[in-house]
Chains A and B, each alone.
Chain A
Amino acid sequence: MAVGARSAADEARAKESENQRGAPPTVESTAPPRPRPNRKAASIIKEPRYVHAAIIVLSCLPFILGGLALASDAFRGTSYLTAEPVKEIEHYTGKWTLRFLALTLAITPAIAITRWGWLIKYRRTFGLFAFGYACTHFLLYLTLDLQLLFSQIWEDISDRIYITIGFTALMLLVPLALTSTKASIKRLGGKRWNALHRLIYVTCVLGIIHFWMSVKRDVTSPILFSLLFATLLGWRLVHAARSRRA
């Protein structure tokens, strides 16, 4: 519950910083002492130009590079993606999904630490990229791996628990992607919107479980991803507990 309250607070803070954007950064001395959360308001810097555009381009790169490698392997006989490009591209897109989920979860703590309120819009950017990579991951599995053999696809989704889990994780992202617009926030109201978007925590946990279950014996990279997500989710718990006390 308190976790949701945090996100609402983030929203509010984000709006506040948005308002301050035009104003020149006030230098401490003259301003009257502000309440704690805004004490470091002076450190708010404007969003540098072109950063958002650059981030979007960079976020597309794994998709483009993966696509080029796959095409080259398929049509030019290279083996950038090992001798089994289909498996490799599945793992590749799966890991990028997790990375973008982690980036999405990293925005709130990043704002809390840096006070750069303008970062908030990157939460949506990264969230949508996570959704995009997750869809790519799933579509590659349907088309290239199972080649639309529907009997096997259905059997996989219903009988194989790690596929079921991955599929559920993706399905939970759908309503989030659909309500990612400003209009949706208005329509739902901040509180309900925040509550709905807490589903991303469930997706992250399911995504990690899906990853753990897909590897055979070498759990190095599931461990690293788990630590990353544990940090990001743990931060929220600690933060929530602290603000409840305050």
Chain B
Amino acid sequence: MIIRSRSKNDIVSSEITSESAYVNRRQFLKDTGLIGLTAGGFLAACREEAAAASAQEQDLKAELTSYEDATSYNNFYEFGTDKEDPKANAQQFKTKPWSVKVDGLVNKPATYQLEDFIKPHKLEERIYRHRCVEAWSMVIPWMGFPMAHFIKQVEPQGSAKYIEFTTLLDPKQMRGQRMPYLDWPYVEGLRLDEAMHPLTIFAVGLYGKTLPNQNGAPLRHIVPWKYGFKGCKSIVRIRFTEKEPRTAWNVATPHEYGFYANVNPTVDHPRWSQATERRVGEFRRRKTLMFNGYADQVASLYSGMDLRKLY
């Protein structure tokens, strides 16, 4: 297949902006007086971009979780069940070389080297709310590309209804897999229309940097209106299927974790309320938003479904 290689002039944003400057860019604008001066040409140039990024995303920029918190407070049971375990235990994890197998009901099944998997796509930044099913949340600037681009490229067959993701199985490197926390390897899945939704992305970085191991390097997917566990980390296999995938948490405790796992403040987890959440780094609890604040974009995917039953 023909793969468009990234032109040499394409620069990863992390090369341009240091992380601290990035985080402080508002301060930077203030300091340099740019905010006052930008009225004319600068604004016009930005208009197109600004329109693309939703107003919502602009607001979220002010709420970014610190890089430190986002990379040290993780649920990634493959590396241990405590929140600090992934950072402690994933440092030696080898993500090179990495290959991703695409199979199932597609016209172009293939096994890609990670570089080839990413190459055809233009990386963009997406600032998303991230809501864990445990009722904590973050705001994270991911680097990635829409999953729809990938799906179109491999041409799913008409019978494909679902897409299934599988994490690497390697108990030698992933010590959590030596314990029966879940039925390893971790499997997640989406309905094909959910996967094709423009908000759904494959992520390969955050804060303009390569994805740290503890965050699911080298490849994970993000569905911002679903609870965090729906995002599969360290993906090695993508399969198109006709049947609903048997997802890891759903297999483990079906009465607590459904296949859909849409963020929904009106449907509680059996053991705790989902009505509110705590944003990491904040003290006050926030009200949890329907579909994590993305209801306008995604509610139509579920019209006619009983979200109490299909939690």
Q: Which residues of A contact B (CB under 8 A)?
A: 74, 79, 82-84, 86-87, 144, 146-147, 149, 152, 155-156, 160-162, 213-214, 216-218, 220
Q: Which residues of B contact A (CB under 8 A)?
A: 68-69, 72-73, 77, 81, 83-84, 134, 136, 179, 181-182, 252, 270-273, 275-276, 278, 280-281, 283-285
Q: A83-B69, A83-B281, A147-B284 are in contact. Are A152 and B136 (CB under 8 A)?
A: no
Q: A87-B136, A218-B179 are in contact. Are A162 and B278 (CB under 8 A)?
A: no
* Distance from B70 Cβ to chain A, minimum over Cβ atoms (Å): 8
Taking a contact as CB atoms under 8 Å apart, the answer to whether B278 and A83 are in contact is no
Complex: A187 Cα to B179 Cα, angstroms: 53
Taking a contact as CB atoms under 8 Å apart, the answer to whether A82 and B73 are in contact is yes
Taking a contact as CB atoms under 8 Å apart, the answer to whether B273 and A152 are in contact is yes
Give which listed residue, B83, B134, B273, contacts A156 with CB less than 8 A: B273
Give which listed residue, A152, A214, A216, contacts B276 with CB less than 8 A: A152
Complex: A74 Cα to B283 Cα, angstroms: 9
Report chain A residues within 8 Å CB of B252. Answer: 217
Give which listed residue, B81, B83, B134, B276, contacts A83 with CB less than 8 A: B83
Complex: A156 Cα to B276 Cα, angstroms: 13
Report chain A residues within 8 Å CB of B69. Answer: 79, 83
Give which listed residue, B68, B81, B270, B278, contacts A86 with CB less than 8 A: B278
Q: A74-B283, A147-B284, A160-B271 are in contact. Are A84 and B83 (CB under 8 A)?
A: yes
Chain A residue with Cβ nearest B280: A83
* Distance from A196 Cβ to chain B, minimum over Cβ atoms (Å): 32
Complex: A213 Cα to B253 Cα, angstroms: 13
Taking a contact as CB atoms under 8 Å apart, the answer to whether B84 and A155 are in contact is no
* Distance from B55 Cβ to chain A, minimum over Cβ atoms (Å): 28
Task: Choose among A83, A144, A156, A162 the residue with the greatest number of B CB atoms under 10 Å from its CB.
Answer: A83
Report chain B residues within 8 Å CB of A214. Answer: 271
Given contacts A74-B283, A218-B179, 10 further A-B contacts (CB under 8 A): A79-B69, A79-B72, A83-B69, A83-B280, A86-B283, A149-B285, A155-B273, A217-B252, A218-B77, A220-B179
